[in-house]
Structure 1
């Protein structure tokens, strides 16, 4: 595949995530959709100011939430070190990020600090625990939002991708299901950056990487998930994660998006089908569905993610990464770039990271 196309997809995934984050800043966490429509109209089509009495109050349209800020910190670390360097990443959290938060929710850069970051701050700063003992059991996509950058940087080396994403996630989240689903999302994103479509074949491609030892998931099935035969020579694959189910779900959501007998209309109602809350098991399915439904239409994918309400910031960020990887940076409407705060700086870092990744092609 031409390296320019590869770089375009990589930069598209990164900028898509930054755009999704900022698009949902204003209408973030409206679980009453009637209230969201009353405040922002029937269709949110661009960046908006948060209401002063709500999350991110006082911030302006086009700015990044804390999720976007932490992803930018991750990009900077990756670019400076030429890849994932855990010591450098942790140093940046200790020196650049933790001094800006105080352990309370409605404070810190981006206007809100997530549960897992509050717990990590408390263990690291107040209790003085070393990294490796600061994670909590939050079931959110907090780590998944920042590891988008790691997945893009190591997309061409799935074994390295899985290892780096696992270790980075475990810094702040230690629930086994959350870690497995986060690594699976990273693996899907890596495939899209490589140039694979978000379709019903994606899980089969991932399972092939499990069989070859590139992804650390356990499986005993053979071929197309068929039962193993008694006495079959091929031994089960024993991985870090006890089940490959997190790798199997993406194809189901992709098939649902293209099955004429299954219709979610309008597409933003995917949030009510898979759930509006923050947990990974609500967020990843919706993002997979939207990315598969709009493979060539970044705008539709990310705006339907925003207009679904609830934890639409995570949904839009994850969807933006998947959609941007498919359309490339060149397929993202310019108005989304123009309205993003510090777009020039983010673009420069995204392109540098994409160049580093493509050099391994």
Structure 2
């Protein structure tokens, strides 16, 4: 695949994440869908102001939440360092984010601070612990929302992708299941940047990377998920993570999206099927489903993610990155770029990162 196409996919992934974040800024965290429709109408189509007294109150339509702000810090670090430099990223968190937090949910840049960032702030600022001892047990997608930039940067180097994503995730989240699901999402996004389809074959391709030692998951089965035969070695592959199931989820979701006998209509109800909360095991199936169903339609994918309510910001960030990688930057409607605050700066960072991707082909 020509480098220009790869760079378009990479830029599309990053800008898709930013757009998803900003689109959900206003209608974030409405678990009562009737209230959501009352405040924002039957169908949200664009950027909106948060209502007074709600999450991100005081921010304006098109601006980023704290998730987008942290993703920007990650991008700046990657672009300026030329690679992932954990000390540099941590320095930026110490300098550009933590001084502006107070440990409360509704404080800090972006108008809301997630549980995992609050816990890291307490350990780092109040308890004076070093980075590496700052992670907590929050089970949200907060780490995905920044490490998706690492997935793009190391799309053609899956071992480094997994290593850097796992290491950065542990700065704020130390649960092995959360880390494995975060790495799995990054591996999926990396494959999409490389040009692979989000379909029923993708998980098999990821499992091949496991079996060749490029992804650090434990393989308990052989080809096509067949069990070991008598006399086969046990296990076929021992990895950092106990189960490869996080790598299998995307293809199951893609099959569900393609099966005419399985319909979630309207598609925003994916939030009800898989759950509205912020936990990673609710968010990933919904994002994979929407990204597979609307693989060629960025607008439909992100708007269904937003209009599903609940933790729609994470859902839209994850979906936006996955679909942005599939349609490429030219496939993102211009109106979403026009309405995004500081769009030119964000686009510049995304394009700079895209030029750093190592493509061995």
TM-score (norm 1): 0.99
| Map 1:47-66 → 2, pairs under 5 A | 47-66=47-66
Native 8 Å contact 1:25 1:313 kept in 2: yes
Question: CA offsets, 1:188-233, max 9 Å, x none?
Answer: 0000000001111111010000000000000121111101111125
Superposition deviation, residue 236 in structure 1: 1.9
Native 8 Å contact 1:154 1:357 kept in 2: yes
* Residue aligning to 2:146: 146
* Residue aligning to 1:225: 225
2-structure distance, mates of 1:93, 1:221:
41
Superposition deviation, residue 261 in structure 1: 0.5
Question: CA offsets, 1:122-180, max 9 Å, x none?
Answer: 00011111111110000000101011111101101000000000000000001111000
Superposition deviation, residue 263 in structure 1: 0.2
* Residue aligning to 2:114: 114
Native 8 Å contact 1:7 1:358 kept in 2: no
| Map 1:71-82 → 2, pairs under 5 A | 71-82=71-82
Partner SS, residue 306 of structure 1: helix
Native 8 Å contact 2:136 2:174 kept in 1: yes
Partner SS, residue 225 of structure 2: coil
* Residue aligning to 1:212: 212
Native 8 Å contact 2:156 2:359 kept in 1: no
Partner SS, residue 357 of structure 1: coil
Native 8 Å contact 2:219 2:235 kept in 1: no
Partner SS, residue 221 of structure 1: coil
* Residue aligning to 2:41: 41
* Residue aligning to 2:3: 3
Q: Report the count of equivalent residues.
A: 361
Native 8 Å contact 2:217 2:242 kept in 1: yes
* Residue aligning to 2:307: 307
Native 8 Å contact 2:216 2:240 kept in 1: yes
Q: Which runs of 4+ in 1 moved over 6 A?
A: none
2-structure distance, mates of 1:317, 1:353:
18
2-structure distance, mates of 1:358, 1:37:
45
Superposition deviation, residue 360 in structure 1: 5.5
Native 8 Å contact 2:64 2:341 kept in 1: yes
Superposition deviation, residue 100 in structure 1: 1.0
* Residue aligning to 2:242: 242
Question: CA offsets, 1:313-333, max 9 Å, x none?
Answer: 000000000000000000000
1-structure distance, mates of 2:94, 2:353:
23
Native 8 Å contact 2:116 2:135 kept in 1: yes
Q: 1:291 to 1:126 in 2, by over 3 A?
A: same
Q: CA RMSD in A?
A: 0.9
Native 8 Å contact 2:6 2:194 kept in 1: yes
Q: Which runs of 5+ in 1 are unaligned?
A: none
Partner SS, residue 357 of structure 2: helix
Superposition deviation, residue 286 in structure 1: 0.2
2-structure distance, mates of 1:60, 1:86:
32
Q: 1:359 to 1:349 in 2, by over 3 A?
A: farther
2-structure distance, mates of 1:249, 1:105:
31
2-structure distance, mates of 1:14, 1:259:
29
* Residue aligning to 1:173: 173
2-structure distance, mates of 1:277, 1:235:
35
